[in-house]
C-alpha cells in the first residue's frame, strides 16, 4: 500500500487500476449481473475513493472481490418485476449470460464460495494465490476449497452424464492446481 | 473424468471468454473528479501497544458491568429504549417518499448508543429512501417526482445534516441542533452527496443510481 500525497500521483496510480475496467465488466457479466457496466463503474469508484487500500502491484483480486460484493448486493435487491437500468438511467434490462444447462445445474449445486473459487480460476484465469486474495482467505484454505469444489462439480457432472447426452469432458487441462 | 478435465470443461464453457473492450476515458475523468477517503493515520508500535492495553482494560470493565452502568460512566450514551424512542420521535419530523414505510430499528438489547443516534438513523433512512425514489423517477421519466425528491433531499441536508469539525472524534455529536440530525465526518462525504444531487439534477444520475444501489432501503 502507498499513501498518495497529491492528486496527480493518485491519478497515475489509479490509471493502472482502471486499466482492468474491461475485466471487471466481464466478471460482472459472467456472474449474471443485469448491469455489468454499472457494477464495474461502481467498483472503480470505490477503488478510487479507497485507493490506499488497493494493492498497487496486483489490483485485480481486490477489484474482483469488490465487484463480487456489488453483484451479490444487486442480486439481493433485484425484484423479478423491476426492470434494470443503466448507469445513465436508460432502460437496459440486459439478460444475464446464458450458461450451458448441464453446467448451470451443476454450478447451482455448489455452495456460493465453492462456485466462486472454481470460477475465479477457470473463468477469471486467476492463480490460486490471487483467487485466495479475492475471496479473503489464506492460500492454503483456498486450495483445499478449490479441490473440494472441483470434486463436487465433477461428481455432479458425472451424475448428469448418466441422464443426459455426454458433454465432452475429456479435454486435457493446461493448468492444474 | 479427472479433476483437471473439470476445469478444462468449465473454461470451454466460459460465457464471456474475453474481457470487454471499454472506452472508459469519460468514466475515468468522472471518477477522478470525486473526493478520496483519507488514509487512516498509522500509529507507532509503542502507541499501538498502549492502545491495546487500553482496549483490554476497557473490555474487562465492560464485561464486569452492565450496559446501563457503562452508559452512566460515559454520560452521553443511552439505552436501547431511548434510541428507539428517538427513532420514533424523528419519524414525525421527517417525510418518507410515497409508499415507503419506516423499517423497524434493530438495536441490540445489551448495547448503548450515542444520544441522538436513533434520530440519526431516521435521517439516513429518509435520505436513502428519497435517493431511491429519485432513481426510480429517473428510470420512469417522472419529472415531477424527480423534482420532489431533489427538494426533499435539499431540505433534509439544510435542516438535518451537519459536518463534524475537522479532527472531531467518531462520536462527535452537535449540541443545540434541531432534532433529528446526522453528523457527517469532515472527509468530503457531505460535498460528495451535494455534487451527486447536482449531477442528477443536471441529467447525470450515475452516482445517484449507484448510491441508491449501495445504501437504499
* More confident position, B61 or B199: B199
Q: Chain B interface, mutation test: which of A98, A121, A168, A173, most B Cβ atoms within 10 Å?
A: A173
Q: What ipTM describes this predicted complex?
A: 0.75
Residue A159 to chain B, least CA–CA distance (Å)? 11
Answer whether B214 sits within 8 Å of A49, measured CB to CB.
no
Please, what's the largest Cα pairwise distance for chain B?
A: 72
Query: In the predicted model, is pLDDT for residue B62 greater than 70?
Result: no
Write out B13-41 in H/E/C secondary structure: CCCCCCCCCCCCHHHHHHHHCCCCCCCCC
Given a contact cutoff of 8 angstroms between Cβ atoms, the answer to whether A122 and A153 are in contact is: no
Answer whether B4 sits within 8 Å of A172, measured CB to CB.
yes
Residue B36 to chain A, least CA–CA distance (Å)? 4
Mean pLDDT (chain A) is 81
Residue B142 to chain A, least CA–CA distance (Å)? 12
B158's grid cell? 439544510
Given a contact cutoff of 8 angstroms between Cβ atoms, the answer to whether A166 and A102 are in contact is: no
pTM as predicted: 0.51
Nearest CA in chain A to B41: A3
| CA nearest neighbour of A65 among A83, A87, A39, A96 | A39
CA distance B163 to B160: 10
DSSP structural state of residue B115: T
Compare CB distances from A167 to B9, B39, B139 and report the shortest one's residue: B9
Answer whether A173 sits within 8 Å of B13, measured CB to CB.
no
| CA nearest neighbour of A113 among A72, A159, A59 | A72
End-to-end CA distance of chain A: 28
CA distance B192 to A44: 16
Q: Is B99 on the interface with A (CB under 8 A)?
A: no
* More confident position, B198 or B56: B198
Interval A85-105: pLDDT, tens = 444 444 344 556 778 888 888
Answer whether B36 sits within 8 Å of A10, measured CB to CB.
yes
CA distance A70 to A74: 6
Interval B69-107: pLDDT, tens = 444 444 467 888 888 888 988 888 898 888 888 888 887
Amino acid at each position: 500500500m502507498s499513501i498518495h500525497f497529491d492528486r496527480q500521483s493518485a491519478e497515475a496510480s489509479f490509471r493502472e487500476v482502471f486499466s482492468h475496467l474491461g475485466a471487471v465488466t466481464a466478471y460482472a457479466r459472467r456472474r449474471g449481473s443485469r448491469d455489468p457496466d454499472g457494477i464495474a463503474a461502481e467498483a472503480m469508484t470505490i477503488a478510487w475513493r479507497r485507493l490506499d487500500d488497493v494493492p498497487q502491484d496486483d489490483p485485480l483480486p481486490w477489484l474482483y472481490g469488490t465487484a463480487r460484493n456489488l453483484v451479490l448486493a444487486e442480486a439481493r435487491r433485484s425484484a423479478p418485476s423491476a426492470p434494470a437500468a443503466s448507469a445513465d438511467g436508460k432502460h437496459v434490462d440486459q439478460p444475464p449470460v446464458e450458461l450451458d444447462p448441464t453446467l448451470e445445474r451443476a454450478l447451482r449445486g455448489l455452495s456460493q464460495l465453492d462456485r466462486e473459487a472454481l470460477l475465479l480460476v477457470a473463468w477469471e484465469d486467476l492463480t490460486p494465490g490471487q483467487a485466495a486474495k479475492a475471496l479473503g482467505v489464506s492460500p492454503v484454505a483456498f486450495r483445499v476449497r478449490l479441490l473440494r469444489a472441483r470434486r463436487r462439480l465433477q461428481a455432479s457432472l458425472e451424475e448428469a452424464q448418466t441422464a443426459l447426452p455426454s458433454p465432452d469432458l475429456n479435454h486435457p487441462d493446461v493448468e492444474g492446481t | 473424468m479427472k479433476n483437471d478435465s473439470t476445469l478444462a470443461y468449465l473454461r470451454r464453457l466460459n460465457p464471456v471468454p474475453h474481457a470487454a473492450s471499454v472506452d472508459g476515458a469519460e468514466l475515468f475523468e468522472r471518477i477522478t473528479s470525486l473526493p478520496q477517503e483519507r488514509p487512516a493515520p498509522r500509529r507507532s508500535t509503542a502507541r499501538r501497544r498502549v492502545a491495546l492495553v487500553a482496549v483490554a482494560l476497557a473490555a474487562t470493565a465492560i464485561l464486569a458491568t452492565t450496559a446501563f452502568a457503562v452508559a452512566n460512566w460515559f454520560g452521553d450514551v443511552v439505552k436501547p429504549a431511548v434510541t428507539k424512542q428517538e427513532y420514533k420521535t424523528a419519524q414525525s419530523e421527517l417525510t418518507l417518499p410515497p409508499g415507503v414505510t419506516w423499517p423497524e430499528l434493530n438495536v441490540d438489547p445489551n448495547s448503548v448508543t450515542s444520544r441522538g443516534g436513533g434520530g440519526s438513523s431516521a435521517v439516513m433512512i429518509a435520505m436513502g429512501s428519497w435517493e431511491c425514489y429519485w432513481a426510480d423517477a429517473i428510470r420512469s421519466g417522472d419529472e415531477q417526482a424527480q423534482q420532489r425528491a431533489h427538494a426533499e433531499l435539499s431540505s433534509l441536508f439544510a435542516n438535518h445534516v451537519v459536518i463534524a469539525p475537522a479532527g472531531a472524534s467518531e462520536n462527535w455529536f452537535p449540541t443545540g441542533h434541531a432534532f433529528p440530525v446526522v453528523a457527517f465526518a469532515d472527509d468530503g462525504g457531505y460535498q460528495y452527496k451535494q455534487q451527486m444531487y447536482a449531477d442528477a439534477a443536471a441529467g447525470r444520475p450515475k452516482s445517484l443510481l449507484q448510491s441508491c444501489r449501495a445504501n437504499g432501503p
